[in-house]
Structure 1
Amino acid sequence: MKILIFYVLVLTLLYSVRNSHGARILASIFSPSYSHQVTFRPLWKELAKRGHEIILLTTDPMEDPELTNVKEIDLKESYAVMDQYGASELVSNQQGKSYRELFSAYIFALSRTADWQLSHPEVQQLIRNTSEHFDLLMVEMMFPTHLAFVDRFSVPFIGLCSLDAVPRVHKSIGNFMHPIIYPDYLFPFTKNLTFVQRVISFIVTAILDIHSYFMYSTEDETVTKHFGSNIRPLKEIEKDTSMLFINVNPIFHQLRPMGPNTIQIGGGTHLRQAQPLPQDIEEFLDTAKTGVIYFSLGTNVKASLISDELRNVILNTFANLPYKILWKFEQDLPGTPDNVKIMKWVPQQDLLQHPNVVLFITQCGLQSMEESIFNHVPMVGMPFYGDQSRNAKIMEENGLGLVVDRKNLIKDDFYRAIMEVINKPIYREKVEEIAILTNDVEMTGLEKAVWWTEYTIRTRGAKHLRNPMVDLPFYKVYLLDVLGFLLSIVLISLYVVRKIVKILLKVLCSKTHEKKKIE
């Protein structure tokens, strides 16, 4: 009896020690885009504070000495690889290029970047370390290549999206899809689609499905090159998603039915209170008697690469405005108007919290819009690529600002849009209203992300939340076999009825003919 009690005490002690040390997490944010990286930084910090050990593959290392249990593999050269294939030029200056050309070229650049990342010496060391183990993988879902780590370490995984998930990702976890009700976020329309828009959405969605098939095939070859042949096809691995964290806010985004393992963390996981501004920016803002307009196209769209025509329209418009303008621009820009200040880097969150900022002219990246809403600053949108047109449309529909078409922009239209948003209080009031609704929640996006991450670890993959639709072939999901069966019954019934009618008519005609003969 004493021996039994001793063993129970030892096992209890070992279990307690094991759980007090937290989990080992491998995290990978593939995208060479600061906005994609910054969305999840608070999550890594919070998980680290709670005792979890994290190895993070990132293009933008935090380099925080206080995070002693976070090891970062620095993949910042991914930006150079993307530019080697013209990514910045593609998204910044799209003159003379069709959407198909832009999309294909950008996907190719992403594919080459994924290949480079997996060939990185530290990543290869991680792949080849046979003694390495993890309790959880957290991986960005925008591009599938890094999903190979799931099979390499035989580990459950959480998919991460710094914006809404693309259709193939929603589909992989069993969320309801419909090209008309929920068009791809690449489209600039959201609801109440016209007939032409419905046709376009249906056709393009079908084309994207076909494109995904070839993309998986290409990335499977990349995986075999770096991991060997023991990795399942990426499309198959994708179906094993335990949880999906999407940067979606139901107040701002379109409502849609989703399974319990899709967690909406939108609203701004990265948002924080203001820090002191650099002195030169502080003075520029404080001395602006009529206010300051902040203009930024984000990190991926380079203002220095936009067309000369568009740049001239912007500068000519700014010269006629009664406001100071702070423009985030990657290099010196000679000949700027006296009221325009050019800066290569701006602490955007801190700047937007200054009371003298009256307008944010933005490319409508989701993180920038979250920061603008959080700080009650109305917007003028100038979308370039990706989800930006959709975000701009949502922003305008919610009354948070106006959108201008950069492809056909003229000075008068740009001027009118700016002056209207600044001078009509309704725009700022709507931004404040959305901000209040966004913050009135039972848990913040970060709190939900932390809780569900630890839940996935505790339950070893939360397999009980798996949507059965994931395992069904498409013909069963859309009842094609049932509809085919019912249609067959109808057709067979019609055929039988037709035959019976023909026989009856033949018999009737025969009797009528005999009767006439007798007469």
Structure 2
Amino acid sequence: MKLGIIYNLIGLYTGVLGSKLKGSEKPLNIAMSMGIGSRSHIKFLLEITQQLSDRGHKITFLSLDGFESFVKGYNITFQSVGSISMGVGSVFQLTPFKRGDPFNKGIVDVDKLVYNVYSNTFKNFEKYYEESKPDLIICDWCNPSCFDSAAKHSVPMMIGYQTLTPIAESFHTISLGLEPSTIEDYSFIKRLDHTFIEPWRQWYEHYPLKMKLKRAKQENGVPAHIGLEWTNYGLGIAHSYVGYENSRNTPSHVIPVGPVFSDKIDPLTPDKVIYVGFGSLTQLQPELSEGMLKHFHKLLEHNWIDGVIWGGMANTNLKKFPKKYTVDGMEFPTKSILDGTHQQIKLLKWAPQRSILNHPSTKLFLTHGGLDSIYESINSATPMIILPFLGDQPRNAVLIKENGIGDYLEWDDDSEIQTYSKFFNLLNPDNIQLQQNLEHHQLMNQLSSQRKTFGANLIETYAKSAKSCRSENPQTAFDIPCELKPYIPLDRRTSFLKSHLVDVYLFALMVAILSVGFILMGVYKLLMRFNSLSYEKKKVE
């Protein structure tokens, strides 16, 4: 039914969707925005909206100073909405994630950062709405100043999700750690904790952030709900797909369009290699780099691999790169690795990741577990071994292992034998089960990746439907917009009590209890009457 609504709505514009603007047709003015995070938060939207730009629509990327480079290579305009000097977009020297670590371990004070971003950008969003009058804005779900300001000014809005985690169901775990992704194998005690204790733990953990946001809302004329009351403001567009993510009943106002890839893959040149990439925000500490070199040396020594391509080294201070490493008591200098003359280990400031992953010689991908990297690896059927650091990376690592297409390292806890066992298992050409799993997930990924044009059509249609319905239905601030109403499920626009018929069930239960009570009372009176008659009869006899 949900897809039927979408396709019917898109059908209204079959004459114009997917083609350039004609004659007097006015181009749409579409904006998108992200506050904090890496490029992965916005890359899928850049790819999708580039198609809209090619059709003649105006696309603007609103973000913080320092994120201008994100639009490089796209026909998209950058406009700053603020400048925050707290490490936004910076490279962080992180340590691998350990069980029990907070999701934001090793980076700035996230609560303070989110509050500062909200406070420093809200007025600039308002100024943009007043001056540019956008037909639609797409807000990253981690950017509350964007969707709150849009709701305040009744600007048509969509919300961009990187994963389906924000719309998890009760059987999904809500931890960003290395816990199982569902409660399927949980004991009764763990399910009890998941149901009653974990939600309170999460609420308590995020309470300071919610209170800071509440204060920021009050300062900017937004209703000061403690919670994030934003899901009723705009249509969700998710860079995800069921197959990688656990299956769930996705709300009708959240449309998965992922995975989204660039149309271009540069050709490469052959040997079985490991590709190593840890994303744009991670700077490896020297001890970690040394440990990696030891593992690679043994894999090379035992002919499990012929070479290592270590990309993304632009963030690494090579002056602090290990000058040597030791394996089985023997020292090996790294000079040839650093000057590029080593025959088997190549360090690259930048690597064409998707091209490398699609090369038949790439047999394993060692990654931090960023979502874009995972999607690209699945698309090329390359097994992964994940060394997570923060954020959603630990949970992504768990999903990869549960799906049988890779494994993850617990750097401080895995023994050397455990680490090599994981590498050998994924590099073993006789691991038929792994190959079958990779092929299965590759097919699902490739099918789902055909939705980029659908995503562009969806955005274009939603913007046009907003203009159409609002011409006769003036919108008020913080109300469910008319263009969203066909999508939004009842339980998101009415009270829990009404949408789940709680009052009806309580009434039915009360009627049932009263009915049983009356029946029992009647039976009791009949029994008493019968006993009374029996007693009188015996008395007469």
User: What TM-score do you get using the length of structure 2 for normalisation?
Assistant: 0.74
Q: Which SS does the other structure have where 1:459 is aligned?
A: helix
Q: State the AA in 2 paired with 1:319.
A: H
The offset of 1:141, in angstroms, is 1.2
Alpha-carbon offset, residue 106 of structure 1:
9.0
Secondary structure of the structure 1 residue equivalent to 2:240: coil
Change (3 A) 1:375 1:76: farther
Residues in 2 aligned to 1:148 and 1:415: alpha-carbon distance in whole angstroms: 49
| Alignment-derived partner of residue 321 in structure 1 | 299
C-alpha distance in 2 between matches for 1:49 and 1:384: 37
**1:426-484 C-alpha deviation (Å, 9 max, x unpaired):** 3356434432443246x823212110101111110343223222112223344332332
| Higher relative contact order, structure no. (Cα contacts within 8 Å, ≥ 6 residues apart) | 2
Please tell me whether residue 222 in structure 1 is matched to residue 246 in structure 2.
no
Q: Distance in 1 between matches of 2:247 and 2:115?
A: 36
TM-superposed CA distance for 1:412, in Å, is 1.3
Match of 1:266 among 254, 258, 275: 258
2: CA distance, partners of 1:76 / 1:375: 38
2:95 corresponds, among 78, 92, 96, to: 92
CA contact 1:393–1:403 (8 Å) conserved in 2: yes
Q: Which amino acid in structure 2 is aligned with residue 483 of structure 1?
A: Y
Tell me, yes or no, if structure 1 residue 423 matches structure 2 residue 422. no
2:238 aligned to which of 246, 270, 279: 246
Structure 2 residue aligned with 1:439: 446
State the AA in 2 paired with 1:224. Q
Q: How does 1:108-123 map to 2 (within 5 A)?
A: 109-120=109-120
Q: Contact conserved, 1:383 with 1:389, CA < 8 A, in 2?
A: yes
Q: Is the 8 A contact 1:185 1:387 kept in 2?
A: no
Give the structure 2 partner of residue 377 of structure 1: 382
> Which runs of 5 or more residues in structure 1 are unaligned?
1-15, 168-176
Q: CA deviation at 1:73?
A: 1.8
SS in 2 for 1:238: coil
Tell me the distance in 2 between the aligned counterparts of 1:518 and 1:349: 102
CA contact 2:104–2:390 (8 Å) conserved in 1 = no
Matched, 1:394 2:399: yes
Q: Which amino acid aligns with 1:221?
A: R
Pair 1:198 & 2:191 matched: yes
Equivalent in 255, 278, 287 of residue 297 of structure 1: 278
Per-residue displacement from partner, 1:34-64 (whole Å, max 9, x unpaired)?
2223232212322222222233223532476
Structure number having the greater helix percentage: 1
1:46–1:109 distance in 2 versus 1, CA, 3 Å: farther
The residue correspondences of 1:20-419 to structure 2 (distance < 5 A) are 20-58=25-63, 60-62=67-69, 70-73=77-80, 77=84, 80=87, 88=92, 92-93=95-96, 98-99=100-101, 102-103=102-103, 109-120=109-120, 124-128=123-127, 130-167=130-167, 178-180=169-171, 182-184=172-174, 186=176, 187-190=179-182, 192-196=184-188, 197-203=190-196, 206-207=199-200, 210=203, 215-225=209-219, 228-229=220-221, 233=225, 238-267=230-259, 269-275=260-266, 290-304=271-285, 308=287, 313-322=291-300, 323=305, 324-327=307-310, 328=312, 330-332=316-318, 333-334=321-322, 335-336=324-325, 340-343=345-348, 345-419=350-424
Moved more, 24-33 or 250-259: 250-259
| SS, match of residue 464 in structure 1 | coil
Asked if 1:451 corresponds to 2:429, the answer is no
Q: Is contact 1:24-1:54 (8 Å) kept?
A: yes
- For structure 2, the residue ranges without an aligned partner over 5 or more in a row are 1-20, 326-331, 335-343, 467-482
**Identical positions, percent:** 20
What corresponds to 2:474 in structure 1? none
Distance in 1, matches of 2:519 and 2:48, equals: 67
Q: How far 1:218 sits from its partner (Å)?
A: 3.3
Instruction: Supply the AA of the counterpart residue of 2:135.
Output: D
Distance 1:234 1:157 in 2: 21
Contact kept? 1:469, 1:477, Cα under 8 Å: yes
Counterpart Cα distance in 2 of 1:508 and 1:88: 86
Aligned to 1:11: none
What TM-score comes out, normalization by structure 1 length?
Answer: 0.77
Write the distance in 2 (CA, Å) between the matches of 1:38 and 1:518: 97
Q: Does 1:491 align with 2:525?
A: no
Q: Distance in 2 between matches of 1:486 and 1:34?
A: 53
CA-atom RMSD, angstroms? 3.7
Q: Deviations over 1:358-382 (max 9, x none)?
A: 2101232221111112333221233
2:14 counterpart residue number = none
Shift of 1:190: 3.8
The answer to whether the Cα contact below 8 Å between 1:246 and 1:264 also exists between their aligned partners in 2 is yes
Asked whether 1:471 is paired with 2:493, we answer: yes
Q: Would you say the 8 A contact 2:273–2:361 is kept in 1? A: yes
- Shift of residue 160 of structure 1? 0.3
Given that 2:119 and 2:216 are in contact with CA atoms closer than 8 Å, whether structure 1 keeps it comes out as no
